[in-house]
Amino acid sequence: MVMNILITGVAGLIGSRMADWIIEKQPDYTIIGIDDLSGGYIENVNKNVIFIERDIKEDISDIFEKYKPIYVYHFAAYAAEGLSPFIRQFNYQNNLVATANIVNNCITYNVKRLIFTSTMAVYGEGNPPFDETDRPNPIDPYGVAKFACETDIQIAGIQHGLEWCIIRPHNVYGINQNIWDKYRNVLGIWMNQHINGLPMTIFGDGRQTRAFSYIDDCLDPFWKCAIQSNTKNQIINIGGTKYYSINDASDILKNIIKGGEIVYKEERHEAKHCFPTYQKSVDLLNYRDVTTLEEGLSKMWKWAQQQPKRKTKMWGKYEVEKGIYSFWKS
């Protein structure tokens, strides 16, 4: 029996590492990987993946028809919370409309289960730690898009019988991360800044708190989200169980890279404190923090220094210029 798994965003951090893990740990499955290479790199894609370069907003029914995947991991997204108020149309097209296309195909081609990566951004501003039972209250268009996707997937489950598992990861980092995008993933941004001889930037006073999740600690739990009966139609926070201030995280990285200057920039519109409860992931998935932030950053920094020099992503024209932060104007 042919057992195919479809991964969207297979050239990105989570998608590429998930493909690597399945190929090593579950060799009976074949990985079909889709990516438009707008935010990931072909070098990240395992040579054993059947890779298809495609924009998932477009018609991809031929891929579902040909490969008939059992499980679909939908990782593709443009996860730039802070930038999303200035690129609303792009945000909703790439995060919401694209997901609707995936859901339609999962229903039509009888996918056994859809595993969708949402985000901690659905919780918005509140009193952490945020629990899966808390009512989402996103404060930016990215969080709005992801919460809309969650809702639509659950409706598809009720109306069409689609099995799903919604993952809410938080600040995932590690090898294969796009460190050349100046708008997302603070740890990667800092590394790229330091490599290029620039100071590391912090928005506001740096007292914001976040939990950081090393990608390799999340892969076995992500797999269990697909195959276990107790994860059917569940929403699960997955990731690091310890939270840090942004100042503390920068200090840890500075110790690893043996230097680095910090420059504080104007505060931006974001949740001040954002970290989750994690007991559900422990109970259902046996999630464990195997890798400390120090260990994870050390591994990522070693990898980052070996990467080719790439051009830092710059947004050509914002959809909305009013209120754009000074540090994104140049």
Residue 60: partners with Cβ closer than 8 Å, 6 or more residues away: 34, 54, 101, 105
SS3 of the chain: CCCEEEEECCCCHHHHHHHHHHHHHCCCCEEEEEECCCCCCHHHCCCCCEEEECCCCCCCHHHHHHHCCCEEEECCCCCCCCCHHHCHHHHHHHHHHHHHHHHHHHHHCCCCEEEEECCHHHCCCCCCCECCCCCCCCCCHHHHHHHHHHHHHHHHHHHHCCCEEEEEECCEECCCCCCCECCCCHHHHHHHHHHCCCCEEEECCCCCEEECEEHHHHHHHHHHHHHCHHHCCEEEEECCCCEEEHHHHHHHHHHHHCCCCEEEECCCCCCCEECECCHHHHHHHCCCCCCCHHHHHHHHHHHHCCCCCCCCECCCCCCCCCCCCHHHCC
pLDDT in tens, the chain (330 residues): 779 999 999 999 999 999 999 999 999 999 999 999 999 999 999 999 999 999 999 999 999 999 999 999 999 999 999 999 999 999 999 999 999 999 999 999 999 999 999 999 999 988 899 999 999 999 999 999 999 999 999 999 999 999 999 999 999 999 999 999 999 999 999 999 999 999 999 999 999 999 999 999 999 999 999 999 999 999 999 999 999 999 999 999 999 999 999 999 999 999 999 999 999 999 999 999 999 999 999 999 999 999 998 988 888 889 999 999 988 885
Q: What is the pLDDT of residue 330?
A: 55
How high is the pLDDT of residue 11? Answer: 98
Contact 40, 178 (CB under 8 A): yes
Strand-strand pairing, 164-169 and 172-173: unpaired
Q: Residues for the chain: how many in total?
A: 330
Summarize pLDDT for 225-243 with one digit per residue, the tens.
999 999 999 999 999 999 9
For each of the domains in the chain, give its residue range(s) and CATH number, in order of start.
4-173+213-238 (3.40.50.720)
Question: Considering only CA atoms, which of 99, 96, 223 is closest in space to residue 162?
Answer: 99
What φ, ψ does residue 169 adopt, rounded to 5°?
Answer: -80, 170
Q: What is the pLDDT of residues 124-142, one digit of tens each?
A: 988 899 999 999 999 999 9
pLDDT digits (tens, 9 = 90+) for 289-306: 999 999 999 999 999 999
pLDDT at 61: 98
| Residue 280 confidence (pLDDT) | 98
Give how far Cα 321 sits from Cα of 5, 84, 89, 276, Å: 41, 12, 14, 33
Torsion of CA 225, 78, 253, 244, to 10 degrees: -60
Residue 5 corresponds to which tokens in the numbers above? 């798994």
What is the C-alpha separation between 169 and 171, in angstroms, rounded?
7
User: What percent of the chain has a predicted confidence (pLDDT) above 90?
Assistant: 93
pLDDT at 24: 98
**Side-chain half-sphere of 198: how many Cα atoms within 13 Å?**
12
